[in-house]
Structure formats: structure tokens, C-alpha cells
Chains A and B, each alone.
Chain A
């Protein structure tokens, strides 16, 4: 695995017109997986991304093989936020810790959505990535 998927996602967005970029974001929103049962039973394990205007919660996991997983949940009525969470959950899945930490902090600014989506929302996506990285560092240090 490598960060190829995140790069592919970026190229997919940039290849589209603004309007279609929003529809692609909607596809991602619809693909955000349900939380695994263990988190549904333990909402206390999840961290709220307070920078997002809608309630979004994330949890970072490093499995026995050292592969990274990001779990996220956001309301159905917040498709933009769900879309961002889904891009990160899919794009980061299975990466090594080093690869995740090496993802540029400004990834959300690079996928061509700044015309269609307000700056505040894009900052919410950056914050999701920032918090995921911080959780990962905490986990590695523990």
C-alpha cells in the first residue's frame, strides 16, 4: 500500500468540472461505511472533530499488521462532511503509520473543491486529518 489512492482521488476530482466534483463528493458521502459494532457500542472511544460544523466523530486504529484504519461517523443530513470523512477513511485505509503521517496537511486544499465548498468546511476536513494524525502519534507513543 502507499498513498497512491489519495493521489488517485485527487486526480479524479481535478479531472472534473466544479459541478461534477460535488457529485463525486456525494458518491463518497454515500460510501462512508457504518461504524464497526465495537464503536457503535462505545461512543466514548470516538473523538469529536469540533472544527466541523456538523457532529463528526473519528477513531484511529492500527491493526496487528501495523495497518492504519480511520473510522468516522457523521449525520446523513451532513453529506459534505460525510464525503470528506469518506475520502480520508478510504484514502488512508491500510497505510503504514509513517505513510499516514507523511500525508500533506493541506491535502484538503489540493482536491479542487475550494470554489464549490466554503473555506470553513475545507478547514473541517484539514482538522479531521490533523486529529487523525494526532491520535495516531498518541497511539504510537503509548
Chain B
């Protein structure tokens, strides 16, 4: 059973308006049968500080990642997670979080790896909900366990590996990190920890569009025309493009993946979650430094 869609006018201009709900819609619908609200934050303690009544917490770090392999959880673990959170295969899941839904978008992307059909973001996330003085609670939400089926993860359509990036040269890449990370400038002082990459810079030919440009100051997504200006205008993407987005470990680029896929309607967008912590440590891959994208090397099949 799926919850009704939010008819908010702003959403109608997006490619997939059904992927967003407004704070007002959620305030009215949060008790609906078949709807599960999920909080997913960068700060792993925020849910405990206060959350939307009835919502459950999914922790990007401990719930969605495999504890041993650098990979996402498998179908059995996802099934166990969903079951423990009271989510069925038919549930409408609305995810919200801190930092303009940065981690909420990451969780949504992982739900998509498992083909969960009806998963949406709360436009404006935690920040907007709090700014509007809407109800929060520290009371744990009662959960009725479900029986979520074991669905194998399907990485191919929306996830890129390093070899996929090497084969992708000549098609658009979007680097969503900060300008300093993109150029390869080192900002840390001596004796302070580096981010864990041996080389700085970016993947040659990648356009720089820091992820947060897609968010307005109130943490909501920018309007369709603003997003068109950024991604089609400045970054030069064209309808039908096959795009790969990346960042440091694939979280910020999930946000951009959401924007390109669901708000702008690109059908072939993949998130390279290995991102800079893999590329910046990999042997014999090309790197460009400075603020210019650099030219695309020949693709390696």
C-alpha cells in the first residue's frame, strides 16, 4: 500500500515529483498506514537528540555498510534491517536527515540498490522540520516487525566501480567535492591527519559541481530551473547523457545522483562510491590537478 503523492506545486516541475514530500505533507500523513519515516543523519547521535514522532533510525555507518568488506550490506542483511525497522516491500518510505539530506539521499540510494520502489525524501530534511517548530520527540518509536523478502542487490544500473569509470572516459563525470578537494590543494597543517588519499586532485575531465549547490539555504532542493542552470548550463550536461558522479566515499555524490536522476530526469546516472578514497590511492590511474577539468584520457575497456 502506498501513500498518496504530495501535490506541492514546486515538485511538479521535477522529473519524478513522487520522490519528494514537503514538511506540511509529512505532518499530515506521518500516521498513515503503510508509511514509514526514516531518519538518516551524518551525526550518528542526532536521532537520539530528538526525531519526528514515529520515525526509525537508519545509521549509514553501522546499518548500510558491510562490517568487513568495503561494500554495502547484502540482500539478507537488508532484509533483516527492513524487518527490524517495520518496513515491508510495499511500504512508502520517507527519509529525512541533517545537512540538506546529504545522508538521507545516501540511504535512499542504497534502498534503490535493492529495488525498493516507493522511497522518497523529505524536502528540507531535519533542518526545515526543526525550523518550522514541528513536533519532535526523544521517545523510541514502537516497531512492528515485518517479513521483508531477501532481494539481491542490483548494483549495475546506479553504481559504478573503478573499472566502469576507466571505461567511461569521454562521457560526463561530476565531481561533487569542495573546490579545494577538486584542485588537489592540501589544506591541512603539518601533524594533522590527512583525509586518507595519497594523491590529491580529480578524475580527468570531471566537471566540478559541489553537491550543496543543489540545496537552497533552507536545505530544500533548488527549483527545477535553478538546477537546470547549474547542471545543464554550467556543467554542460545534455539530456540522455550517461553520467557518473563521485566524491570522497560516495555519500555527497548520492545527493547529486538523486538530483540528476529524480529531479532532472537523467536515466543513466551512476554513483562511483569508491570515489576519491579509492581513486586517489589507486595505482596507475590518471589524475588532473588544478581548477581545470583536464582532458579525458582514452577509455580503458
Contact = CB atoms under 8 A, between A and B. Distances in A.
Interface of A: 18, 22-23, 25-26, 29, 50-51, 53-54, 76-81, 83, 115-120, 123, 126-127, 130, 134
Given A26-B49, A115-B62, A80 B193 contact: no
Interface of B: 42-46, 48-49, 61-62, 67, 98, 187-188, 191-193, 195-196
Nearest to A124: B193
15 contacts: A50-B187, A50-B188, A54-B43, A76-B49, A77-B43, A77-B49, A78-B43, A80-B44, A116-B62, A118-B61, A123-B193, A127-B193, A130-B191, A130-B192, A134-B191
Nearest to A54: B43
Given A79-B46, A119-B196, A127-B192, 20 more contacts: A22-B45, A25-B45, A26-B45, A26-B48, A50-B187, A50-B188, A51-B193, A53-B42, A54-B43, A79-B43, A79-B45, A79-B48, A80-B43, A80-B44, A81-B43, A83-B45, A115-B62, A126-B193, A130-B191, A134-B191
A80 B45 contact: yes
Contacts of B188: 50-51
A22 B57 CA distance: 13
B181 to A, nearest CB: 13
Contacts of B192: 51, 127, 130
A116 B47 CA distance: 14
A40 to B, nearest CB: 23
Main secondary structure of the interface of B (DSSP, over half): loop
Contacts of B45: 22, 25-26, 29, 79-80, 83
B193 A22 contact: no
Contacts of A126: 193
A116 B44 contact: yes
| A-B interface, 6 closest residue pairs, ranked by CB to CB distance from nearest | A79-B45, A123-B193, A80-B43, A80-B45, A26-B45, A118-B61
Contacts of A79: 43, 45-46, 48-49
Contacts of B43: 54, 77-81
A115 B67 CA distance: 8
A81 B98 CA distance: 14
Contacts of A116: 44, 61-62
Contacts of A80: 43-45
Nearest to B126: A77
Nearest to A105: B191
A45 to B, nearest CB: 19
A77 B46 contact: yes
Contact of B48 (A23, A51, A117): A23
Given A77-B98, A79-B49, A117 B191 contact: no
A9 to B, nearest CB: 17
Contacts of B187: 50
A26 B61 CA distance: 17
Contacts of A120: 195
Nearest to A49: B192
A125 to B, nearest CB: 11
Contacts of A29: 45
Question: Which of A26, A81, A115 lies at the interface centre, i.e. has the most chain B CB atoms within 10 A of its CB?
Answer: A26
A77 B129 CA distance: 13
Nearest to B42: A53
Nearest to B46: A79
Contacts of A81: 43
A83 B48 CA distance: 13
B132 to A, nearest CB: 15
Contacts of B46: 77, 79
